[in-house]
Structure 1
């Protein structure tokens, strides 16, 4: 990839590699004569900062004839790498998404560009690294594939509900049908001479898509995976930099991958919280994809078994076009909507138990449970109050029979004393995955019982008869599909203190039902209400629309955007003052409203942090850029220490009361 050179211009504009928000802008440096012919935009360099003896890393962004700085410019000290690793397109994306979230572009670039590996870079520059795509076979696109590729490369924005059911590849592997559908879409875009980026939640999804692409003759996929070694990830990144079209697959940070002639970005299951970046500035992969598609003109495809509320909103405002043909769906039956878990003996009602006995003799049966471990909740045996950890106030559960510990910090719960009645004995409440296995081994003694959860992961099971107990999201793929999928704990899942509890339940249930064989069935063991009814009847589109309508009425995301502002009371008040006038333009139309201030809570969600407060700002999308700009300005001033110095306190971001911003936090209204 040819990068811009200095071309006689004497000044380089450089973004320093720093986490300090007050330094999130370009600095001008003079280009020494000995580097003038070598330096390129996108290269890593070292430059003096604050003194000639103190060197900082940075990235060359652009060149200019002269600087607005009135003094003598410091000179670039050295070029760290001859390879430009930051492309202009990725720089524009990083700057735009950082500004949208009131964050720093450097934080985005740390996600976008892997750590440099000198040995790998030298091999790449020498051309000694074999290209796994050399033996790819041409993709034979069907008419539907060609039509989809034409839409995407033309900049279309689409939402597709994937059909249920696994498929068997030509290589013999079984994968979710969705992965073959995305593979064909990516290959059709690639056949048009354009790159495609496919973003997926976790490594199991990546493995399925990789297998699907390989079965269609494309082994040369570029994979950017958090599980790779640093060398493997950097080598894959350098392949993505090559000036030729690639299919790039990866986790959430793959949305920032360099791509030659980007034709489309495909995102699988964007409602999965794993796609929400946990590091500042907390930009969701979906939002970054929307910005990148808008900047580059690339197409955008959202695919899922259950559409997220954000994509539903984009569909309803006409920004994204939904598919016209309904997907194939597993048959769903309800054991008894009037029953609760306490209304029947054992772990499942008799109707579901009969299906388990019958189908587990013919092949694998999947049972989805809410939580891992032995018993998710421990309560006082005397008064029944929920047990809390003495160290962090987190909930106590049973890891195994008789072994209780905090579910947050892992602190053992022995000895323990109830804060209500001073009782010292704990008893189990509810059944986790391990206790369910124990129960099923007694109830279905002739069945082979397997466990799949976070501690005992399974990616695949064979077609032999088995009863597979799995937590949500940890369900393995069964060869040929499951004879039956049984969903437990609907009431517990719907009772999670989260704005998105119902939306997440639909996604968990649809993803589990999609693992059934074409002639299999899905059984909802218990539970009722609109969400369960929508799932059982298949009228999820109506449910999503009604849910979005309710959120509009209540001004909850994604009907509006939100920002949480946390810090000392004075710092938060200054932030609020900077945006207060935006809400006064038309009292009849609440463009902005503020919830709080309230005492901030620590990581457990229970203990208060002394002297720290939080408020939530809700605002319409049209105000987003201005609110982000103003709040960012206050944060930069706070970080620079201008207000702190007036009170005689040391400046900097290390102060406990320093301002912290987070935009579009999916859990901001959770209990």
Structure 2
């Protein structure tokens, strides 16, 4: 049996297995007791996936063995486990405890978390992994016999040595690693500028720092999980790990094939300390002797899970670190409001030394963006030309496509989509389409005056490239956005136009970084507009060379001033004080309850029975129209519940109870409608929704 099975709990004479069914139905989110057949008693282990009869002997359901007990509270005859699905216990006790705790915090089902944590089984990959484990064990045993050595094979640290580097940096990494292994929680703001690895590759300085820290923890025979927003961040950290001598990191990535992902999962499952690098689901990866979780840029919305129960990777990391006594390291160029709150209350320790930032310049803030000819004011154009003399220059723009919006050519009203009411823009010149649903706007007629002529407004990335090719003749102008991604550019002079988040790394860093469209970004109608802008700008500025500059081309106000002057944390603390006064997250927690009016009313009633929960505030319910339109005839409402962190357990438990009652109760079996969650009016819960107060 695989080394993954070593230590997995066996029945040891106990006749009852407790099984969690793999079901999306909330009323089935608890353990069911099954008897253990004699023929399975020797091979059954905690964490294995099994098939069990449910509702009838003929109907089989999948599930996971959670534990074994001497007797069941069920007074009837227990059904036996039908079969074991694979020899490898896929669910470790630590991941099960995490799934249960995270689901309870979010009013969700543990099974939904496990579907994020455990990839689809690949039999061929599993057999190869088992055989490789056997071969490795035999080879190690043979070496020990030949040499007469009694050394523990797990003490081998080959491949984890840090390449020679500045002694001070290594000492800092070792010091931080020791604190993390002791269970400390740290917040860190990374310095700007990319660095060159010994292999010649250029990565962000933050990536090299995280790699050094991960290796320092791993050298103490502890596992490390590195959680990153997307694959480009993963590439940088893995490149840094390789360059520093650690080539055995486990990558957990949604872009992998099923076979690749399952192979990585099995490697992480082995009883061997690993460095695990991945996106948001990596926080649920099995990890032997977890020492620390390192998370980069937790303010990136990509780390918010879009599937029920919608748990942000940061919240899952906080729960896991607490359960396993592991350290937690939050790093970013711009700290999120959530991490700043944890620093302010003393739950996360702040760094002592301030980070190094790129030199900042600010064009005249009194100049409105439409008051100058061309895409950029003359001051910014001079900065671009000066930078292009010696290397690449980055220009960050707000939106992709050709023109972000369009208006009626006769009356000037904003052009709206007939299908969903979204704004109409131009992804490419001459082709208009809705920015929400993608419906083509040809033909189009104005809802106000009936005219048919669309006029472009604003400049997207493609239109900016078109203008720069005329304005900066003789220089290469490159585009990097969602449709034309670039990960890296060389050190030759070039003007790179990139949307926020799609900026490539330049060899040696950019000579200048120019930030456009500040006014447009700050006008976004959501609670975190200022926080997001600072994060976008800081990440772009961090790509400049050590002697480069970052220019804010236009715009003013507190957010721009905080960014330019480097007083970001001071602004963020003021923002948190304002949110505390207004009871906005993350000063308080929130939950949204959506469904039919009767269903939402019953959920709200559950918050006051039995007993009223103090400090809990209900807003609504009010009519709610989801972006993906509700089925015809369904009239949905939404209520928002605000509550203190200390009330989270009670609120989640009561709302979860209302959800289970709604899914399983008599009201779900109305004539002519599908049962349970298929009803459009069925209750839906979402805790800590990032956009619940957005316009």
Q: Same fold (TM over 0.5)?
A: yes
The whole-number CA distance in structure 1 between the counterparts of 2:303 and 2:93 is: 24
User: Kindly tell me: are residues 595 and 609 of structure 1, through their superposed partners in 2, closer, same or farther at Cα, counting changes over 3 Å?
Assistant: farther
Residue 341, structure 1, aligned to residue 369, structure 2? yes
The whole-number CA distance in structure 2 between the counterparts of 1:326 and 1:645 is: 60
CA contact (8 A) 2:157 2:219 kept: no
Match of 2:606 in 1: 578
| Gap runs ≥5 in structure 1 | none
Question: 1:129 offset after TM fit, Å?
Answer: 10
The whole-number CA distance in structure 1 between the counterparts of 2:87 and 2:567 is: 56
Secondary structure of the structure 1 residue equivalent to 2:306: coil
- Alignment equivalent of 2:161, drawn from 138, 145, 167: 138
Residue 113, structure 1, aligned to residue 136, structure 2? no
Match of 1:486 in 2: 514
Match of 1:603 in 2: 627
- Alignment equivalent of 1:104, drawn from 88, 109, 117: 109
1:76-127 CA-partner distances (Å, limit 9, x unpaired): 0000111001000000000000000000000000000011000000011111
Question: 1:339 offset after TM fit, Å?
Answer: 1.3
Match of 1:177 in 2: 205
Residue 47, structure 1, aligned to residue 58, structure 2? no
- Alignment equivalent of 1:224, drawn from 252, 256, 265: 252
Match of 2:663 in 1: 639
After superposing the two structures, state which structure 1 stretch, 226-235 or 644-653, moved more. 644-653
Secondary structure of the structure 2 residue equivalent to 1:601: coil
Secondary structure of the structure 2 residue equivalent to 1:499: coil
Secondary structure of the structure 1 residue equivalent to 2:8: coil
Superposition pairs for residues 57-68 of structure 1, below 5 Å?
A: 57-68=62-73
Question: 1:442 offset after TM fit, Å?
Answer: 0.6
Question: 1:244 offset after TM fit, Å?
Answer: 1.1
Match of 2:693 in 1: 669
Secondary structure of the structure 2 residue equivalent to 1:343: coil
After superposing the two structures, state which structure 1 stretch, 316-325 or 637-646, moved more. 637-646
Secondary structure of the structure 2 residue equivalent to 1:341: coil
After superposing the two structures, state which structure 1 stretch, 248-257 or 336-345, moved more. 336-345
User: Kindly tell me: are residues 129 and 238 of structure 1, through their superposed partners in 2, closer, same or farther at Cα, counting changes over 3 Å?
Assistant: farther
Superposition pairs for residues 210-221 of structure 1, below 5 Å?
A: 210-221=238-249
Match of 1:34 in 2: 39
The whole-number CA distance in structure 2 between the counterparts of 1:317 and 1:454 is: 38
Match of 1:406 in 2: 434
- Alignment equivalent of 2:555, drawn from 516, 519, 527: 527
Secondary structure of the structure 1 residue equivalent to 2:414: coil
CA contact (8 A) 2:224 2:291 kept: yes
Secondary structure of the structure 2 residue equivalent to 1:122: helix
Residue 539, structure 1, aligned to residue 563, structure 2? no
- Alignment equivalent of 2:91, drawn from 86, 91, 101: 86
CA contact (8 A) 2:223 2:273 kept: yes
- Alignment equivalent of 2:236, drawn from 199, 208, 218: 208
Match of 2:178 in 1: 150
User: Kindly tell me: are residues 513 and 605 of structure 1, through their superposed partners in 2, closer, same or farther at Cα, counting changes over 3 Å?
Assistant: farther
1:552-571 CA-partner distances (Å, limit 9, x unpaired): 01100000000000011111
After superposing the two structures, state which structure 1 stretch, 141-150 or 408-417, moved more. 141-150
Superposition pairs for residues 361-376 of structure 1, below 5 Å?
A: 361-376=389-404
Match of 2:144 in 1: none
TM-score (norm 2): 0.94
User: Kindly tell me: are residues 202 and 609 of structure 1, through their superposed partners in 2, closer, same or farther at Cα, counting changes over 3 Å?
Assistant: farther
The whole-number CA distance in structure 1 between the counterparts of 2:629 and 2:423 is: 11
User: Kindly tell me: are residues 608 and 272 of structure 1, through their superposed partners in 2, closer, same or farther at Cα, counting changes over 3 Å?
Assistant: farther
Superposition pairs for residues 252-651 of structure 1, below 5 Å?
A: 252-580=280-608, 591-603=615-627, 610-645=634-669, 651=675
1:23-82 CA-partner distances (Å, limit 9, x unpaired): 000000000000000000000000111111111111000000111001000000000111
CA contact (8 A) 1:157 1:299 kept: yes
Secondary structure of the structure 2 residue equivalent to 1:344: coil
Question: 1:641 offset after TM fit, Å?
Answer: 2.8
The whole-number CA distance in structure 1 between the counterparts of 2:88 and 2:386 is: 62
User: Kindly tell me: are residues 609 and 472 of structure 1, through their superposed partners in 2, closer, same or farther at Cα, counting changes over 3 Å?
Assistant: farther
Residue 56, structure 1, aligned to residue 61, structure 2? yes
Residue 660, structure 1, aligned to residue 688, structure 2? no
The whole-number CA distance in structure 2 between the counterparts of 1:437 and 1:375 is: 12
Match of 2:146 in 1: none
CA contact (8 A) 1:601 1:609 kept: no
The whole-number CA distance in structure 2 between the counterparts of 1:134 and 1:608 is: 62
Match of 2:78 in 1: 73
After superposing the two structures, state which structure 1 stretch, 597-606 or 297-306, moved more. 597-606
| Gap runs ≥5 in structure 2 | 137-155
Question: 1:130 offset after TM fit, Å?
Answer: 9.9
Secondary structure of the structure 1 residue equivalent to 2:650: helix
Secondary structure of the structure 1 residue equivalent to 2:563: helix
User: Kindly tell me: are residues 137 and 663 of structure 1, through their superposed partners in 2, closer, same or farther at Cα, counting changes over 3 Å?
Assistant: closer
Match of 1:25 in 2: 30
Residue 7, structure 1, aligned to residue 35, structure 2? no
User: Kindly tell me: are residues 609 and 278 of structure 1, through their superposed partners in 2, closer, same or farther at Cα, counting changes over 3 Å?
Assistant: farther
Secondary structure of the structure 2 residue equivalent to 1:303: strand
Secondary structure of the structure 2 residue equivalent to 1:611: coil
CA contact (8 A) 1:637 1:643 kept: no
The whole-number CA distance in structure 2 between the counterparts of 1:204 and 1:193 is: 28
Secondary structure of the structure 2 residue equivalent to 1:244: coil
Secondary structure of the structure 2 residue equivalent to 1:127: helix
Number of residue pairs aligned between Structure 1 and Structure 2: 666
CA contact (8 A) 1:451 1:469 kept: yes
The whole-number CA distance in structure 2 between the counterparts of 1:488 and 1:581 is: 53
Secondary structure of the structure 2 residue equivalent to 1:3: coil
The whole-number CA distance in structure 1 between the counterparts of 2:578 and 2:134 is: 55
Match of 2:153 in 1: none
CA contact (8 A) 1:277 1:284 kept: yes
User: Kindly tell me: are residues 59 and 257 of structure 1, through their superposed partners in 2, closer, same or farther at Cα, counting changes over 3 Å?
Assistant: same
1:268-300 CA-partner distances (Å, limit 9, x unpaired): 000000000000000000000000000000000
CA contact (8 A) 1:582 1:592 kept: no
The whole-number CA distance in structure 2 between the counterparts of 1:64 and 1:508 is: 53
Question: 1:146 offset after TM fit, Å?
Answer: 1.5
User: Kindly tell me: are residues 669 and 605 of structure 1, through their superposed partners in 2, closer, same or farther at Cα, counting changes over 3 Å?
Assistant: farther
Question: 1:391 offset after TM fit, Å?
Answer: 1.6
Question: 1:128 offset after TM fit, Å?
Answer: 6.6
